[in-house]
Chain A
């Protein structure tokens, strides 16, 4: 009985007792969620356009961040380092199309998935051979200070991260909805055969998509790297993107954003209000629990396409 009250009643009383604190938890959750969305976005882009579940997205984040930090350590000015890193990610996209996607064209999705696992190892390995495996600090000049708004404690860095993510998403939305290239990308994502028939060159489209995903990985790498240092574990945040995708649906850009936000808020609330009862560290597994529940009741995610097979 005591336990039931602790689990089902006390947390809500706490919430009601201090709405300002609840708001602070929610806002902080949203800000963390934005960071998850950044990673999930890369997955969605590639999955939509080429039907490949890119296991190496996390490694791409690590690789991009390592390249950037490595360049900065060698005295390259920050802006130039970003431009060069972007160039490296585009070159990577080109190489992936040439040596991975092209030889495997028309293979089953699972084969492509396996190939991306290989790519994952190649990227992790080569990134560390080139730039070393120490934890590196990435200082992009955003102060990591907290300040107070009407009793709510906010972190300046998180605000910047949210801003960057918002700009990125808005940019991608315009790119996809308004430009001719974006239209071609959507066309390929929708129907390969029809895209071929109207003469959209699939190879070019793949290079573009992987480049865009590389750019998103770079942004995610910069934000995560600046927050928690550039290190091997960056590749593991990709694991956190999985529940985000299950929630949001693999094919939906807005889904990736909202999925990330829900996970961010959910795990913060769970940690703060239920953590003491269960024993803490809920943040580490809450996202996966939520994803499991979703898989049972809404496997296509919140915004994914419902797959109806005609027989």
Chain B
């Protein structure tokens, strides 16, 4: 439970991460309530992506803990994070470019497959039944994100905005409890951004998924997030509702520059 009386899903505590002499994150702490949409903002190089990488185990911080679903970890492991329901998308899209949209999204179900590996390899009996089950769920997510038409197309041939949507779809296919979105709207035009906003809010509404996202477009951030935290040079400088953050002097200084 946190101060607002909501259940806490994720808590990062005093995270410090450095690469050689570069301090990417220093003593960052915050928590995420279940069902919340939290935005992480900050200037370039503030440590936003690093923070997501710590949460899903790509980076291992020098100190601090990540507490997820009540269990504390010194370091998350990617495989464990995925198995525990943390899904994510990447700033520069990490899809399997040679595979079709459908195959890409089906990989999101990988961890849900319970049938013995040998059956899977032989593709007989239970494995086939299981595949059909997973396919049904995947079709549901595909309908939800309105990408029925591109099912069979290799994702490498899709336009950028569509690829972003496929990546979101793959993340959703794993029925995540926590969804980490790294700049889901980067490089999109206004229409695509509006679609993406709608999808993010719908996901939050319908599936009850908790969402942590990084975004540069302030209009978008202020519109869709319940809470905003601001990083600057690896430190957290603000944490609050969009309105509070907008009025925060430290944030204004970080963004507009401070005259010395």
Contacts and interface: CB of A to CB of B under 8 A. Distances in A.
A197 B56 contact: yes
Contacts, number: 84
Interface in A158-208: 174-175, 178-181, 183-184, 186-187, 190-191, 193-201
Contacts of B106: 180, 183
A90 to B, nearest CB: 12
Contacts of A200: 107, 110
A19 B49 CA distance: 67
B123 A184 contact: no
Nearest to A177: B103
B153 interface: no
B117 A181 contact: yes
A85 B121 CA distance: 20
* B interface majority secondary structure: helix
B120 A190 contact: no
Task: Report, as a range, how many residues of chain A touch the other chain.
Answer: 20 to 34
Contacts of B88: 197
Interface stretch (B25-33, B93-101, B207-215): B93-101
Contacts of A191: 94-97
Contacts of B79: 196, 199, 201
B127 A187 contact: no
Given A183-B110, A190-B97, A194-B96, 15 more contacts: A179-B122, A180-B120, A181-B117, A186-B96, A186-B99, A190-B96, A191-B97, A193-B94, A198-B107, A198-B108, A199-B78, A199-B79, A199-B110, A200-B107, A200-B110
Interface of B: 56, 58, 78-79, 81-83, 87-88, 90, 94-99, 103-104, 106-108, 110-111, 113, 117, 120-123, 127, 130-131, 170-171, 174
22 contacts: A179-B123, A180-B127, A184-B107, A187-B99, A187-B104, A190-B96, A190-B98, A193-B94, A194-B90, A194-B95, A195-B96, A196-B79, A196-B82, A198-B87, A198-B110, A198-B170, A198-B171, A198-B174, A199-B78, A199-B79, A199-B83, A201-B79
